[in-house]
């Protein structure tokens, strides 16, 4: 099953704001969604890594998706992450997501368990057989510790088990081979999770981009994407260079916090400063940015003109 034809462009993985006692702050969550739609994004990826998906249990995930579907109300397509270690748990999440009414599910390789590439292929097939909805393969070896090999993706795409890819592998040469290997299958939606090299990846022909940093400045990624579409590569690069400066917010708490806390924590801290969300709280055991780090985030926002 292919994705709806309207899929393309900038599809940010949506931050999940939390209250000071670690519950989802649904008021702020609504504000994030409205902020992104106002920024012109072409779709929303709910329950991705940037959404702290693996910190949420089954019930909370359903509540988050229901809220998102209600708020978006058809204004943009919704991809839903169904990320958990193994096949049948993913199927459980995917069935719930389908019942709630999202447009596609985003699925990683299994993790914690040690899995071979043929077993990874079977994993995606099992999910697809169980849930009649488009499946996006999410390649994120930094979290999953398994790379989706080129042959795995091409096999799954050609047999229709997957409708697209979100590539957060950092292997841009490999992503480029996916674009050429599947050039005769334009219905397969190939997105990059890169934040720093989007201009070059769009030059190579990527169909979409899923930037965590898009939570902070969706307009800029939309401008970058538009410049690329009209072939204005000098402008695309200019937008990218500014966004790369903004991306420094993901490093201000290192090494006091982990890289995970630093990244999404940097986004949340910027979004709090911009008045979009109420706290910069990270799900446990992650650490939130402190006041000094928040001031450094503010300085970066000021440098790129967001404050």
The residues that touch a copy of itself, with contacts defined as CB under 8 A, are 22, 49, 52, 54-58, 83-89, 92, 110-116, 118-120, 122-123, 126, 142-145, 170-173, 176-177, 180, 194-197, 199-201, 203-205, 231, 233-234, 236-237, 240-241, 244-245, 255, 257-261, 283-287
Asked if 274 contacts 307 with a C-beta cutoff of 8 angstroms, the reply is yes
Closest CA to 46 of 86, 36, 38, 110: 36
Rounded to an integer, what distance in angstroms lies between the CA atom of residue 258 and that of residue 170?
A: 19
CB of 148 to a copy of itself, least distance (A): 13
| Burial tier of 152 (Cβ tally within 10 Å: 0-12, 13-18, 19+) | buried
CB of 118 to a copy of itself, least distance (A): 8
Instruction: Record the tokens describing residue 45, joined without a space.
Output: 């990826």
Nearer to a copy of itself, 49 or 280 (CB): 49
Nearest residue (CB) to a copy of itself, 27 versus 118: 118
| Closest distance of CB 248 from a copy of itself, Å | 9
The CB-of-71 to a copy of itself minimum distance in angstroms stands at: 24
Q: Single out the residue of 189, 222, 184 nearest to residue 103, CA to CA.
A: 189
Task: Give the residue with the Cβ less far from a copy of itself, 75 or 245.
Answer: 245
Shortest CB 53 distance to a copy of itself, Å: 9
9-10 β-sheet, strand order? 9-10, 208-209, 189-192, 164-167, 135-139, 104-108, 78-81, 44-46
Helices marked H in 131-171 = 141-144, 150-158
């Amino acid at each position: 099953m292919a994705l709806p034809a309207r899929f393309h462009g900038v599809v940010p993985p949506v931050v999940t704001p939390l209250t000071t006692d670690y519950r989802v702050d649904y008021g702020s969550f609504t504000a994030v969604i409205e902020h992104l739609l106002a920024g012109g994004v072409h779709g929303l990826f709910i329950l991705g890594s940037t959404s702290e998906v693996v910190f949420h249990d089954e019930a909370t995930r359903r509540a988050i998706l229901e809220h998102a579907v209600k708020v978006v109300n058809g204004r943009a397509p919704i991809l839903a992450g169904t990320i958990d270690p193994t096949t049948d748990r993913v199927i459980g999440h995917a069935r719930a997501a389908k019942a709630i009414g999202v447009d596609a599910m985003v699925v990683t390789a299994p993790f914690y368990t040690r899995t071979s590439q043929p077993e990874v292929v079977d994993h995606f097939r099992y999910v697809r057989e169980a849930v009649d909805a488009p499946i996006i393969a999410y390649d994120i070896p930094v979290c999953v510790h398994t790379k989706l090999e080129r042959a795995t993706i091409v096999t799954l795409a050609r047999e229709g088990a997957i409708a697209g890819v979100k590539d957060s592998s950092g292997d841009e040469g490999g992503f480029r081979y996916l674009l050429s290997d599947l050039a005769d299958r334009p219905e397969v939606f190939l997105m990059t999770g890169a934040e720093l090299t989007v201009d070059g990846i769009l030059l190579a022909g990527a169909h979409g981009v899923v930037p965590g940093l898009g939570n902070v400045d969706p307009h800029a990624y939309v401008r970058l994407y538009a410049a690329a579409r009209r072939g204005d590569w000098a402008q695309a690069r200019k937008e990218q260079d500014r966004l790369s400066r903004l991306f420094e917010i993901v490093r201000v708490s290192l090494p006091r916090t982990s890289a995970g806390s630093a990244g999404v924590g940097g986004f949340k801290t910027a979004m709090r400063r911009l008045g979009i969300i109420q706290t910069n709280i990270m799900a446990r055991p992650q650490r939130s940015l402190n006041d000094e780090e928040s001031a450094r985030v503010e300085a970066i926002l000021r440098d790129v003109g967001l404050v």
